Chains A and B, each alone.
Chain A
Amino acid sequence: MKKIEAIIKPFKLDDVKNALTKIGVQGMTVTEVKGFGRQKGHTEVYRGAEYKIDFVPKSKIELIVPDELVTPVLETIERSAKTGKIGDGKIFLSPVEEVIRIRTGERGKEAI
């Protein structure tokens, strides 16, 4: 089992979710986050005074997938979140030791 975390542009969230459900992903957790990478922030103007937005709003998707789904999920996120412009985000992959479904007590792959 692997955990996949992807930080993407918020307006791409729907596309990514739909593409993932199509390939059989059954659940995910989404968080609204802020941050910056190479895109850095941007400046806005309010009543004549400029101010810098350092942390740009992003969406973070977290999902745990069985090993055989890892490659298709990564490819799907990469494809569906891409605009080709700076700030498209990143995907992180890490191992997961255990998953427990609280309601039934199932463990491992069954619990995903």
Chain B
Amino acid sequence: MKRLNCFILISVLAILFIPALAGAQEKAGPDLKVMADTVWVLITAALVFFMNLGFATVESGLCRAKNTVNILSKNVIVFCVTSLAFWAIGFAFMFGEGNLFIGLKGLFLIGSDNSPATGEAYKGIFSSLNWTGVPLYAKFFFQLVFAGTAATIVSGAVAERIKYFSFFAFSLLMGALIYPIQGHWIWGGGWLSQLGFKDFAGSTTVHSIGGWSALVGASLLGPRTGKYGPDGRVNAIPGHNLGLATIGAFVLWLGWFGFNGGSTMAADPQPISLIILNTNMAAAAGGVAATFASYLALGKPDLSMLLNGILAGLVGITAGADGATVPGSIVVGLVSGVLVVFSVLFFDRIKVDDPVGAISVHLVNGVWGTFAVGLFHREVGLFYGGGPKQLLIQIAGILAIAIFSFLANFIIWKIIQKAMGLRVSEEEEMQGLDIGEHGMEAYPDFSSKP
């Protein structure tokens, strides 16, 4: 026994000292910045990946029990599909070398690339990402989880009535075409980035683009059966599990620290600390503002609105998390929280049925967050003496994305509608999509409620 202890002690000492000795002998040590940046990018990417769970629980919680399996399935499959589509096509269209409107090289990630070399030293076809010193696979994975987020936004707005495989087809085209082409304009060296359009972590690139798809999809689908009375009155269709929805909101909030914090794609201590604090404060302010907005407008502090308010604050600060001050982020979040409440009521009134508020959270606040950069950016914002120039560029970007998104989504949704239909039968909708689309129930041991 004693001999064994002795042996363990020697082994431990050896393990501790040998690398130190070896390190002392090496001429060029490992590049610590590349290591730190890569670890940061991959960990934050994993946080963003985790947001898929947040979307799954928020959406299933805010919908009815009879559609739970369907909603969960959609949220799972969307990331699977996006992973394949973005690897095969999307990443090349978004970041590959090309023209001002689309990237053309790098299908299947094939092509020359000497990452983690940066700047002038970078030689390869993804020069739009030459500002970050991490390996290509880390760049791809980080961008992939963003593409997945954009695609999954749609799922909530079209919930409880869309055919499963029609949604599958849309996700594929979203990850391969809609998201990457517009993404190229903003992050891939395209014309909006040349113009000076600022969208740090994607209020527009991820959230508005996802939100536009959601808006067009939900409009073409029409409202859920029973959402409007014969006299046009809005009927409430309460979500079946606000506990799940709350878990989801916290998961998304957590994931957002990766979403914004990781968008530096470098572990730079000062910027990432500010960004994460800004992100948190905007979310908190959004929650407070939505609570009071719903209390004043609706008579009660509605929990689902509080959750939407937090997410709205997060979307709102995403474009400017690097450029805003902490007080600026709080103001952005407060506005987001108010906007989201009135936006939900507005879309209900114009008969665009969005069961989870995805359009109000992602589109409306994606636009607001992008606009807010022109106001709250520490250097170029209107409120900080930067004049109106940035604000005008932001508006141009918002409009360009609005027009292209609207057209592209309309065409793609229409093609899917013609080819395979969008909506399940009314009978299936009544019975629940769980049985109709998947042949199973989420809660088979509970008695069901219409």
Contacts of B239 in A (CB 8 A): 46
Q: A45 an interface residue at 8 Å Cβ cutoff?
A: yes
Question: Please, which residues of chain A bring their CB within 8 A of the CB of B297?
Answer: 48
A54 to B305: give the CA distance in the assembly, Å. 25
Closest to B233 in A: A49
A47 and B234 alpha carbons, distance in the complex (Å)? 10
How far apart are the CA atoms of A46 and B234 in the complex, in Å? 11
In the bound complex, do residue B238 and residue A48 qualify as a contact, i.e. CB atoms below 8 Å apart?
no
| Distance, CA A48 to CA B302, complexed state (A) | 9
Q: Could you mark each residue 294-314 of chain B with 1 if its beta carbon is under 8 Å from any beta carbon of chain A, else 0?
A: 100111101011000000000
Cβ-based interface call for B117 (8 A): no
Kindly identify, within residues 43 to 65 of chain A, every residue whose CB is under 8 Å from any CB belonging to chain B: 44-51
A74 to chain B, nearest CB (A): 31
- CB of B345 within 8 A of CB of A46, answer no
State whether the Cβ of B15 lies closer than 8 Å to any Cβ in chain A: no
Task: Tell whether A46 pairs with B348 under 8 Å between CB atoms, given A51-B235, A51-B238.
Answer: no
What residues of A have a CB within 8 angstroms of the CB of B344 in the complex? 47-48
Min C-beta distance of A35 to chain B, whole Å: 15
A51 to B348, CA, bound (A): 15
A111 to B238 alpha-carbon distance, docked (Å):
46
B218–chain A nearest beta-carbon distance, Å = 15
Q: How far is the CB of B22 from chain A (nearest CB, A)?
A: 62
Q: Determine the residue in chain A with the shortest Cβ distance to B228.
A: A49
Chain B residues closer than 8 Å to A48, beta-carbon distance? 234, 294, 297-298, 302, 344-345, 348
Q: Is the interface of A mostly helix, strand, loop or mixed?
A: strand
Contact B299–A46 (Cβ < 8 Å): no
Quick check: A47 and B305 within 8 Å, CB to CB?
Answer: yes
Would you give the 0/1 interface string for B223-237, flagging 1 where the beta carbon is closer than 8 Å to chain A?
000000000001111
Q: How far is the CA of A48 from the CA of B344 in the complex (A)?
A: 9
Q: Which residue of B lies closest to A49 (CB)?
A: B236
**Residue contact B348 to A49, C-beta cutoff 8 Å:** yes
With the chains together, A81 CA to B348 CA distance in Å?
Answer: 42
The residue from A45, A50, A51 contacting B302, defined by CB atoms under 8 A apart: A45
> Taking each of A47, A48, A49, A50, which has the highest tally of chain B beta carbons within 10 Å of its own beta carbon?
A47
Complex Cα gap A48–B298 (Å)? 6
The interface residues of chain B lying within 8 Å CB-to-CB of A45 are 236, 298-300, 302
CA distance A50 to B302 in the complex (A): 12
In this complex, what residue of B is CB-closest to A46?
B236
CA distance A47 to B300 in the complex (A): 10
Q: Which residues of A contact B299 (CB under 8 A)?
A: 45
Shortest Cβ distance from B145 into chain A, in angstroms? 29
A47 to B235 CA separation, bound complex (whole angstroms): 10
Give complex CA distance A44, B303 in Å: 13
Which single residue of chain B is at the shortest CB-CB distance from A32?
B447
Nearest A residue to B237 via CB reads: A46
Q: Which residues of A contact B357 (CB under 8 A)?
A: 47
> In the assembly, what is the distance between CA of A51 and CA of B236, in Å?
6
B30, chain A: closest CB distance, angstroms: 53
Looking at A46, A48, A49, A50, the one whose CB has the most chain B CB atoms below 10 A away is A48
CB distance from A51 to the nearest CB of B (A): 4
Q: Residue on A with the closest CB to B227? A: A49
Residues of B within 8 A of A51 (CB): 235-236, 238
A44: chain B residues at CB < 8 Å are 236, 238
Chain A, 19-76, CB within 8 A of any chain B CB: 44-51
Complex partner residue of A49 from B235, B300, B305, CB under 8 angstroms: B235
Residues A49 and B302 in contact, CB atoms below 8 Å apart? no
Where the two chains meet, the residues of A that have a C-beta atom closer than 8 Å to any C-beta of B are 44-51
14 A-B contact pairs sorted by A residue (CB < 8 Å): A45-B236, A45-B300, A45-B302, A46-B238, A46-B302, A47-B305, A48-B294, A48-B302, A48-B345, A48-B348, A49-B235, A49-B348, A51-B235, A51-B236
| New A-B pairs, 15, CB < 8 Å, besides A45-B236, A48-B302 | A45-B300, A46-B236, A46-B304, A47-B302, A47-B304, A47-B305, A47-B344, A47-B348, A48-B234, A48-B297, A48-B298, A48-B344, A48-B345, A49-B236, A51-B235
